[in-house]
Amino acid sequence: MGIFDALNTSVGGLQAQSFALQNISGNIANAQTTGYKGITTAFSDLIPDSTAPNRQVAGGVTAYATATISSQGTVSASTVGTYMAITGDGFFNVQAPTGRVDNQPQFSGVTYYTRRGDFQVNANGNLVNSAGYYLMGVPVDPKTGNPLGNVPQVLQFQNNFVPAQATSTLQYAANLPAVPTTLSSPTATAGTITAAGGLNPSDFTNNFNPLVVGTPAPPRTDNTTSGSPAMNQQTPPVAITSATKLSGTAPSNSLPTGFAAGDTITVNTQTIEFYDSGAGGSAGSTPNTTYLDLATSTVGNLLSSIGTITGQAPTIDASTGAITLHTGTANDLTISSASSGWTSMGFGATTNIARGGGGTPGAGVVIANDQTIFQQESISGGAVTVYDATGTAVNLQLRWAKTDSASLGAGHADTWNMFYQANPNATGTQAAWINVGTNFTFGTNGQLSSPVGSSITIPSVSVGTQSLGNLTLNLGTGGLTQYASSGGNATVNAINQNGYAAGQLQSVAVNNDGIVVGTFSNGQNLSLAKVSLSHFNGTNYLKALDGGAYAVTDESGPAIAGAAGHINGSSLEGSNTDIADEFTKLIVTQQAYSANTKVITTANSMVQDLLNVLR
């Protein structure tokens, strides 16, 4: 190797450094290019053949490009919903149009790959990035969310229409108050279901018991009424007692206006008749008649006789003398008497008292005539807009009624029924509210103990003229509870449904799962497609194309569906160029280039010296 070889080697060095400079300039120029992957320069020496190691000389140099496709660029957030970036391994599948027919792009079927994720929807509904590449993916059924196939295709979202979906499921979560406050509870008799904030079926029209269909009629219970305060004819008068005589003269512990022989009191279908043995009277023998002797009988004897008929004796208030009558559980009470003695005991000519409880088995319906009492003995459970099969919106109103309370004693448990409004315009005996048909029972810990499971079916739901069919009420785990509430109201934590009206596509966006989500005019956000990703065994051997796209080569291997990388919606991956690093390389390249020119200058001087010798 001689002077002329040195000249050739230096020229090769200049070419290699020029190649490096070209790559550096390209990297710097694309420092702001979305998804750009820089190209570095690698140098390789060229060693001439030699007959012996000690005759080996330094050779020339060649330069070649090294891709950095696998190097991640900085990911930054964007306000554009269709922008996306890949964090980690992977490429978007794209195609480039080869022409247009009737203003529609035509494709050759060749798939390219890119990291440039600045896609936006064009006039034809395609997602196209700034370099003109069309995004590919797998369409998704908007109703089920299931992919429609597994082969990626160019995505297009234009005039997408989603048909109406009838509501089939309600997602419900609420806390029911341990002691509900209804309009009726503050004034109800203590110890009753109404006072406990519940619903009393006996307050409803006969044959229209609102409890769950088939629920046995409530057992008959005793009912009471109290007369006016009653005084005797002592001086001064005091309240009558069981020892007060039914007849006597003042001053004595007797009724002011006593009973007379022949007076009667009718208790239901039986009679109590009075006689006076002191005046020669005697007891009769009329059937269903009890006889009391005025010469010896007291108020206590009379009340005992009434109690024998009703099954529960009346009582006397010791401070006022007021008598409390009991119906007992066998019959309603009707008691009448024209006697002034009965009047002096604090009652009118006729007293009617209905027993508590009773009625008819549960019919599961509240008729229009009973709406007022129903509203007074129940609490709101929220409302939700649901949809029938045509997409017509229906307002579904819910109410809760407590039908049993553990506070009533042994044999009772906290139980609730849910109702929905079936006909807001119901009249007379038309159904206004329907019981959903389930008893919701809670344990002492406030947790739902029955029904077991996370959902129930509400059969054949109709609201007005709109039929909704069977609805599934999903409560989830712990979704329905009964804890104390200061206001005595139900706290509805969630009430959602899965129906919607028909809608037209208005916009699309890509979420962090790589799903293209469409926003429709009906307010629904539905999945439309899944963005496809691919990866390669030889990522850095892909062939770079204009616009940040890459083509498959033999060295890269074929595309492999899927990727370990993750899509970030509303984000962009920037260039992976490091400006500081490129400037450092630029300085080194400049110095190397200058050094090669110096070698050429020196070699040229040596050649001139040789030529001068020959002269």
Give CA–CA dist 199/486, Å, rounded: 20
Give CA–CA dist 603/162, Å, rounded: 79
Give CA–CA dist 97/280, Å, rounded: 127
The domains found in the chain, sorted by start residue, are 3-72+576-614 (no CATH), 75-163+504-573 (no CATH), 169-219+359-497 (2.60.98.20), 224-353 (no CATH)
Rg, C-alpha atoms of the chain: 48
Across 276-410, the runs of DSSP E, i.e. the strands, are 289-293, 315-316, 323-326, 333-336, 350-353, 365-367, 379-387, 393-404
Backbone angles phi, psi at 420, to 5 degrees: -120, 150
At 170 the pLDDT is: 97
The model's pTM is 0.66
Give CA–CA dist 68/115, Å, rounded: 12
DSSP letter for 492, please: E
At 62 the pLDDT is: 84
At 201 the pLDDT is: 92
Give CA–CA dist 504/525, Å, rounded: 11
Torsion 177-179-181-183 (CA) sign: positive
Across 122-212, the runs of DSSP E, i.e. the strands, are 127-128, 134-139, 153-154, 161-162, 169-177
CA 495 to chain CA centroid, nearest Å? 5
Q: Hunting for tokens 């005091």 — which residue is that?
A: 238
Give CA–CA dist 96/107, Å, rounded: 7
At 57 the pLDDT is: 66
Give CA–CA dist 140/531, Å, rounded: 10
Give CA–CA dist 175/489, Å, rounded: 9
Give CA–CA dist 16/131, Å, rounded: 31
Q: State the DSSP H helix or E strand holding residue 21, giving kind and residue range, or none if neither.
A: helix 3-29
Q: Is the peptide bond before 256 cis (omega within 30 degrees of 0)?
A: no
Q: Which two tokens stand for residue 51?
A: 């007959």
CA angle 255, 240, 228 (to 5 degrees): 90
Residue closest to 448 by CA, chosen among 485, 405, 482, 419? 482
At 360 the pLDDT is: 87
In terms of Cβ atoms closer than 10 Å to its own Cβ (0-12, 13-18, 19+), residue 282 is exposed
At 56 the pLDDT is: 61
Contact call for residues 514 and 533 (beta carbons, < 8 A): yes
Give CA–CA dist 225/204, Å, rounded: 21
Residue 3: Cβ within 10 Å count: 15
Give CA–CA dist 184/189, Å, rounded: 10
- Counting as low any pLDDT under 70, the low residues of the chain are 1, 49-52, 54-58, 615
Backbone angles phi, psi at 482, to 5 degrees: -135, 95
pLDDT tens digits, residue range 481-495? 999 999 999 999 999
Contact call for residues 303 and 247 (beta carbons, < 8 A): no
